[in-house]
Amino acid sequence: MEPQFTDADLEAYLDESLDSGRAAQIEDVLASDKALLNRLAMINGRRDAGVHTLGEIWRRNQIGVPTPEVMGNFILGILPEGDTQYIQFRMDHLKCCFTLAMFNDLQLQQSENSELSQTRRERIYKTSAGLLKRGNPEEE
């Protein structure tokens, strides 16, 4: 049995905001299913005519996608439990590509900043190591 696709799936596919696995499933089925191709064409025609669904408006305007500040707090583990669960839901169940991209970008940025901090600390230590061994010049 071929997978079933909702109109929301097809709208997200058209917006290129569907997770890659689900988008690949749609593309595979589209090659052989005229009915699905017709549904996709109807949705696209409706959108071109200016008729939009509530879900489509949410996706296009990225309503519900956490801000970078909120996502940073999520990564740091300092969000209230309800907010944490909501972001986790967006990533695990909705597979929101915008939320996942921001999460991955911020994690990468955090690891790069951590490496820079470590390098900076080592450089400061090396340049001040000789001064620390001599002690306080006022004591001499």
Which tens digit of pLDDT belongs to each residue from 79-137? 999 999 999 999 999 888 889 999 999 999 888 777 767 777 777 777 766 565 555 55
Same domain, 89 and 52: no
User: Are 82 and 36 members of one domain?
Assistant: no
What's the mean pLDDT when you consider all of the chain?
Answer: 84
Q: Which domain holds residue 47?
A: 1-63
- Give dist(CA 11, CA 40) in Å, integer: 8
pLDDT exceeds cutoff 80 at 5: yes
Looking at the fold, whether 44 and 70 belong to one and the same domain comes out as: no
Structural domain count, the chain: 2
Residues ≥6 apart with Cβ < 8 Å to 96:
17, 64, 65, 90
Dig out the tokens for 20 from the structure. Answer: 């890659």
34 and 80 assigned to the same domain: no
Q: Are residues 83 and 56 in the same domain?
A: no
Q: Mark which of 63, 94, 110 sits at the end of a domain.
A: 63
Between CA 36 and CA 5 the distance in angstroms is 9
Three-point CA angle 60, 97, 48, nearest 5°: 30
Q: Rounded to an integer, what distance in angstroms lies between the CA atom of residue 88 and that of residue 75?
A: 11
CB-CB contact of 120 with 88 (8 Å): no
pTM exceeding the 0.75 threshold for the entire prediction = no
Q: The tokens of 93 are what?
A: 């169940």
